[in-house]
Amino acid sequence: MDLLHNPEFGERVVTLMAAFVLVLQIAMAGQRSLIGNIRIFGTQSALLAAIAAVIAWYNHAPHIYFAAAMMALVKALAVPILLERLVDRIAIRHQIEPILNGPVSIIISGGLTLVAYLTATSFQHAEAGARGLGHNTLAVATSVFLIGFFTVLNRREAITQVLALLSLENGIFLAAISLTYGMPLLVELGVFFDVLVAAMVLGILVYRIRETFESIDVSKMRRLRG
């Protein structure tokens, strides 16, 4: 059978790319470089766009191509470019240590991955053919979500917290695109528009924090308490 029309081959491709998505999420949790985090996020988003395109191809679902294109344009290109320009503008010359260091963050991310796989197993059910394509990525989607949430709590830099929130949303996107094969077109358009606007607003907020506190360490905002 032609590989381009073989659902089993498509399943392997989706599983492989989902594994790379998870690896990148764990790498983001242990990465200190701001530019490195931004580029990891862009690569992860590009892989999610590719996963959506593969699922669209094997399930003959043209509307998923739109989600793939928007993911590539907004989260793999526009948001990373916006954040890299912001980093250049605020001229960050040093990295702020996270609350937990890199090795400990990676170990905790591994533990969260294990929890996600144990939890997701009870929800998975086997389906044959293209209809089951991507259904085994629920554990990966849950892991990406949990690690993203942990990274939000572990970071002190406003930009890395923004990236963690966006990567957390990537986990939700992977679950939606793999299990339900997308949302209505209007809903998807609204979601990506909201992501782009949120990234722009958060970018402005980060710039204002830098101007006010001469740092993007959000822990310094505690002095604003009454």
181 pLDDT above the threshold of 80: no
Q: How far apart are CA 106 and CA 155, in angstroms?
A: 13
pLDDT tens digit string along 211-226? Answer: 555 555 555 555 555 5
pLDDT tens digit string along 74-113? Answer: 889 988 998 888 788 776 655 667 888 888 999 999 999 9
| Cα dihedral: 178, 116, 39, 204 (round 10) | 90
Q: How far apart are CA 36 and CA 42, in angstroms?
A: 10
Looking at residue 115, its pLDDT comes to 92
pLDDT tens digit string along 26-55? Answer: 999 988 888 888 999 999 999 999 998 988
| Cα dihedral: 154, 157, 162, 164 (round 10) | -30
129 pLDDT above the threshold of 50: no
Looking at residue 190, its pLDDT comes to 56
Q: How many residues does the chain have?
A: 226
Q: How far apart are CA 46 and CA 116, in angstroms?
A: 23
Tell me the two tokens of residue 225: 């308490």
**126-150 burial string, b = 16+ CB within 10 Å, else e?**
eeeebeebbbbbbbbbbbbbbbbbb
Looking at residue 17, its pLDDT comes to 93
Contacts of 206 (CB under 8 A, 6+ apart): 86, 90, 158, 159, 162, 216
Phi, psi values for residue 14, rounded to 5°: -60, -45
